Amino acid sequence: MKIRSFISGCEGTQLSSVETTFFHEQNPWGLILFKRNCETPTQIAALTSAFREAVGRKDAPVFIDQEGGRVQRLGPPSNYWRKYPSARAYGDLYAKSPLAALRTARHVGRLMAEDLIEIGITADCLPVLDVPQAGAHDVIGNRAYSLHLEHVMALARAHTAGLMDGGVLPVMKHIPGHGRSEVDSHHNLPVVNARRQELEQVDFPPFAAFADAPMAMTAHVIYSAFDKTEPATLSRKIIKSVIRGQIGFRGLLITDDLSMKALSGSFEEKCTKALKAGCDMLLHCNGVLAEMREVAAAAGELKGKAMRRAKTALKSARKPQAYDKKAALKDLDLVVSA
């Protein structure tokens, strides 16, 4: 059965018979989970297993946004998962002790990976490599590691190293940079009018430092210095000259959620534009079946360079490594209780 070039959400805590049939027939590359899908470890393990059974691939990736702080799909008020800090907590610690901050970021990444891999989640949509600027909307805010790009790069590398030590793949976001947007792309289309030189000096370097990442998620943001009409997700100019060119990213390029209000038009139009622009994989998150069907119809077969990048991404996962969990929990307390 041909794999289609999209990652889909689902509606609830278990697959309905209609969803199971849909996944079996349309065969999306992966699944993404949200808080609405997560109640208990046992339930999530059954859900991820049911998805893989429906598509007939044991290695089908399952994604989640488990950053910590306000973007934590598994966490309080549930008693099953720990509270994890926002990325900025590592940046605050870095200002006092770089060594402690880097060690803590890696330890916490390892703890997060253990939570995920045990229930069948194999990819986490972090690190957030955006560098917030003065006057920007707080949609990024403390989700960013720091206001200093060098600190962002160091802490993100440590955090994702811990994640990969635990067998979970990272997805860097939001390439080529969401830190200047003055509106929330969940609701409106941000337009960044910064000069090319500013973007090249501040926004792009963290992504260039992670050009070896297996996967990246695009930003639904217009960068007028490069393309005055289309956001990065839909812009061939930006994907070719900036993301693949200047930044040098060679991994699997995934759109941000196509159901976000930043993008206008039908799902067929959005999907077609994104693929033509150079995105490898479409992402649809809200679990609305009618929309899922539209995305599936437009996605097409995963093949060529996109298929090779998808296979390479999955091959970059490694078996969970042993670690000092007691030390990791002690470091977690450093940033949670700060």
Catalogue the active-site residues. Answer: 186, 256
- Tell me which H or E stretch contains 216: strand 215-218
Helices (H), the chain: 17-26, 41-55, 87-96, 98-117, 149-165, 196-198, 205-209, 236-237, 267-277, 289-299, 304-315, 325-336
CB within 8 Å of 194: residues ≥ 6 apart = 180, 203, 223, 225
CA atoms of 93 and 335, how far apart (whole Å): 8
Which position has the token pair 């470091």? 331
Query: Using CA atoms, how far apart are residues 282 and 275, in angstroms rounded to an integer?
Result: 8
Q: How many CB atoms lie within 10 A of CB 329?
A: 14
